[in-house]
Amino acid sequence: MTAGIVGLGLMGGSLGLALRGVPEIDRILGHDHNPDHGEEALKLGLVDEVVDWERLQQESDVIFLAVPVEGIIKALQNLTAIKPACTVIDLGSTKAKIVESIPPAIRKNVVAAHPMTGTEKFGPSAALPNLYRDKIVVLCDLEQSGELQRETARALFRAIGMKIVTMDAREHDRHAAYISHLPHAISYALANAVMSQEDAKNIVILAAGGFRDMSRLAKSSPLMWEDVFKQNRDNLLEAMDCFEEELRVCRALVKGEKWEELRDWMESAQKLYDIL
């Protein structure tokens, strides 16, 4: 089977490395609109060959779309020359708008997936061989994909060590707003709040693990996250409302010096760890 990967950054590059260990895959083609990324991916051995859009479509049995989510929607409109049985798997962090955008002619070819993994780094050099191993992948609106394509996607994700969860695309987007998109917004805001201080440098010198963890996500690609926020706007705004309300509770308790209630509020947060 020939695999084609569109987008040779962190997600696509890591997938190339992971697919090398899958016996069913005998060739990995790559495509990237940035020629430097293509060259770098070849040098790093992430793919076997970098090809143009036409060859990618003609020769791939499975195509992974690993570009920012607005780019995924554009790519889907341009998949006009794929093999009839081709499985197209998008790896976007949002799902509802992507699923809605799939042209009817290739609806059965496409499987909408969100691998719950990543790092704050990006570009081909960020690729890691075990990025997907033991992680969850959410497959959305699977009943709209063809049977062959469903089975191909399941088999490949299992082969690279992932656990499969299925979900409605809208439900996925609501969950993702809370556990992924909101934390990114918070991390960018925290980094900007510290940077707005006159003595930002002195503050950061003192940073221990807590601050480093909380601000790590703010290193993530703005290009990628601009798209995610755009496509999941309404859910993100709702999650931000909910978070801001909690922060207001905390603020009011601190301001009003209600220390016992503050402790209760902190203790309720710890319940998270009964399930995490």
Footprint of its own copies on 63-122 (CB under 8 A):
116-119
For helices 182-195 and 233-255, angle between their N-to-C axes, nearest 10 degrees: 50
Pairwise CA distance, residues 28 & 257, whole Å: 61
Cα distance between residue 28 and residue 47, in whole Å: 5
Q: How many chain residues bind its own copies (CB under 8 A)?
A: 87
Closest approach of its own copies to the CB of residue 188, in Å: 4
* Interface with its own copies, residue 217, by CB under 8 A: yes
Query: By CB under 8 A, which span of 1-9, 22-30, 34-42, 228-236 interacts with its own copies?
Result: 228-236
Which of 24, 26, 100, 213: binder of its own copies (CB under 8 A)?
A: 213
CB-side exposure of 6: number of CA atoms within 13 Å?
Answer: 28
- Asked whether 47 and 21 are in contact (CB, 8 A), the reply is no
Q: Does 180 bind its own copies (CB under 8 A)?
A: yes
Q: Is 161 in the site for its own copies (CB under 8 A)?
A: no
Question: Which of 136, 146, 164, 168 forms a contact with its own copies (CB under 8 A)?
Answer: 136
Minimum distance of its own copies from residue 22's CB (angstroms) = 22
Residue 272 burial (C-beta neighbours within 10 Å; 0-12, 13-18, 19+): exposed
Q: Are 66 and 7 in contact (CB under 8 A)?
A: yes
Of 1-9, 61-69, 143-151, 263-271, the window that binds its own copies (rule: CB under 8 A) is: 263-271
Provide, rounded to whole angstroms, the least separation between the CB of residue 78 and its own copies. Answer: 22
Is 134 near its own copies (CB under 8 A)?
no
DSSP H/E element including 99: helix 96-101
- Given the complex with its own copies, which of 28 and 96 has the nearer CB atom? 96
Which residues are registered as beta bridge partners of 90?
65, 112
Examine residue 22 and tell whether it contacts its own copies (CB under 8 A): no
- Please check whether residue 262 is in contact with residue 254, taking contact to mean a CB–CB distance below 8 angstroms: yes
Q: Which of 238, 221, 171, 240 minimizes the C-alpha distance to 70?
A: 221
In Å, how far are 58, 152, 171, 228 from 81, measured between CA atoms?
6, 20, 32, 28
Q: How far is the CB of 200 from its own copies (least distance, A)?
A: 7
Q: Please say which residue, 27 or 175, places its beta carbon nearer to its own copies.
A: 175
Which range touches its own copies (CB under 8 A), out of 22-30, 52-60, 100-108, 232-240?
232-240
Q: Provide, rounded to whole angstroms, the least separation between the CB of residue 54 and its own copies.
A: 31
User: Interface with its own copies includes 44 (CB under 8 A)?
Assistant: no
